Amino acid sequence: MNKAIWTYGAADLAAAIAGRRLTARDAVDAVLERIEAVNPAVNAVTVVFADAARRAAGEADRAVADGRPLGPLHGVPFTVKENIDLAGSATTHGLIALKDAMPPLDAPAPARLKAAGAIPIGRTNMPEFGARWHTDNALRGATRNPWDAARTPGGSSGGEAAAVATGMTPIGLGNDLGGSLRIPAHCCGAAALKPTPGRIPHATSMEPFDPVLAAQMMLVQGPLARHVRDLRLAYEVMSGPDPRDPWSVPAPLQGPPLPTPIRVAVVTDPGGLGVDAAVASGVRVAADALADAGYDVVEAEPPGVVEASETWSVLARAEGAASALGEIAPLLSEGSRRYLELVSELVEITPHAVARGYVIRHALARQWSAFQVEHPVILGPVMTRPPFAVGDDLASVDSIQEIQTSLRLIVALNVLGLPAVVVPTGGIGGLPTAVQVIGSRYREDLCLDAAEAIERRLGVSTPIDPHQP
């Protein structure tokens, strides 16, 4: 082989294993060795299933030798965030109190990856109960950004993004209620897909079984990877209805063809609240890539981004405060309690504000729907700033507000229920840059197509070795 096996993407690994150029054991051993070599520097992978993964790889190789039918991810290792059920491994949510909370069943998403032949190889780190935009907890400790340990790897799927970015896994499985897939992808130089709610089913076999309304409407499961084609492959495997998730949908993976050239609305500074020069540069080079690929690229801003961000803040925090998050506060570390205290001061939560928030959500979704008739694809920043310094989210209410302001286009999409793909655009000043490619509901295919066009022009940013200060 001309390159290290741990650098392969998921689709390339699956093709090599099916074509008998590699074995599943080769793939698993390569990733396990990579975890051993680099995980101490980043603390992204929290539990490693070395023996079980090698046994599964042996069975996968026997299937190839016997000529049995192979799934699209046959023999490919993957990792799973610690708040997604994986039978035989604790669903800790990053909490010491849940370190032995063993689910009896896989959640639908990892179950489908396994049914497609993929092999779980480890668990990844997250903030306690997913309640920070930085990955740290008292159970596992902090995950470090492989580009710069002084910067956040993002949250709450920060362990997944750091593992993907350093070659410890070709696919990571996380989730996103307020940017928890896309923020870490931006911070670590990975690609990520936030699907439309209901596209990828979710269920847990651990109490509480049923989420609050805001999570029902805004929380999604999704993949991280280094290549957009791997996001597409994982997305196609995991999508579709499941009886355990009453809101999962049977929408087709491909929408109807659109007249060409497809128009792309480009926005570099959503709401006019300011954008870092490096972030804006990344948006512009991605726009140029789409123009070269034949898209009709225009400058146009979708409606109400700031209002949607403010609505997310009301709805997500109101129901978070009324849910188990409030009840488990005594179980949280000092850092997580400090974070929750600060964010509670950002917005006043009243019954009227919450009720009004759901009305505003509908009005904004209607306005975006009309905008997307003329602009089927929207290109914009992920965060409007580079990854923030470790500790900034605990510094003050003002610092928290600055971070949330930079996330306005991220959380707007959670409120609106729209799909988006984060794709890297390179790096500036030793830190990665990335953009969001946004589509209308159930048009993940348009997002993935445009993201692949950007990736073909700009290349991929990872895997990298962790930066040593």
Spatial contact of 231 and 223, defined as CB atoms under 8 Å apart:
yes
Q: CB of 72 within 8 A of CB of 117? A: yes
114 in active site: no
What confidence score (pLDDT) does residue 323 get? 53
Q: Is 380 helix (H, G, I), strand (E, B) or coil?
A: strand
SS3 content of the chain, % helix, strand, coil (to 5): 45, 15, 40
Q: Are strands 431-438 and 377-381 parallel, antiparallel or unpaired?
A: antiparallel
Token digits of residue 322: 């009324």
Q: Where are the beta strands (DSSP E) in 429-468?
A: 431-438
Res 53: pLDDT = 98
Selected catalytic residue, list 89, 114, 156, 248:
156
The SS3 call for residue 47 is strand
The verdict on whether omega for the bond into residue 156 sits within 30 degrees of 0, i.e. cis, is yes
Question: Whole-angstrom Cα distance, residue 338 to residue 346?
Answer: 13
- Residue 41 pLDDT: 98
Q: Do residues 450 and 423 make contact, with C-beta atoms less than 8 angstroms apart? A: no
In sequence order, the 6+-apart residues with CB closer than 8 A to the CB of 378 are 264, 265, 266, 267, 302, 372, 436, 437, 438, 439
pLDDT at 329: 76
Both tokens assigned to 356? 């009004």
CA dist 282 to 188, 200, 204, Å?
A: 15, 29, 38
**Distance spanning both ends of the chain, measured CA to CA:** 32
Q: Which residue has the tokens 């979708």?
A: 302
DSSP 101: -
Low-confidence ranges of the chain (pLDDT < 70): 1-2, 319-326, 469
Residue boundaries of the structural domains of the chain = 5-458
Smallest CA-to-CA distance from 147 within 459, 461, 400 is with 461
* Amino acid letter, 149: A
pTM of the model: 0.97
Tell me if 84 sits within 8 A of 223, measured CB to CB: no
Which pLDDT belongs to residue 90? 98
Which pLDDT does position 164 carry in this prediction?
Answer: 98
Residue 180 appears among annotated catalytic residues: yes
Quick one: CATH architecture of 5-458? Alpha-Beta Complex (3.90)
Task: Give the pLDDT score at 1.
Answer: 47
Q: Give me the pLDDT at residue 325, please.
A: 56
Q: Which among 180, 248, 336, 406 is annotated as catalytic?
A: 180
- Reading the block at residue 255, the tokens are 């929408």
CA distance 291 to 280: 17
Q: Residue 223 pairs with which residues in a beta bridge?
A: 173
Give dist(CA 312, CA 218) in Å, integer: 9
81 counts as catalytic:
yes
Q: Which of 81, 114, 313, 406 is catalytic?
A: 81
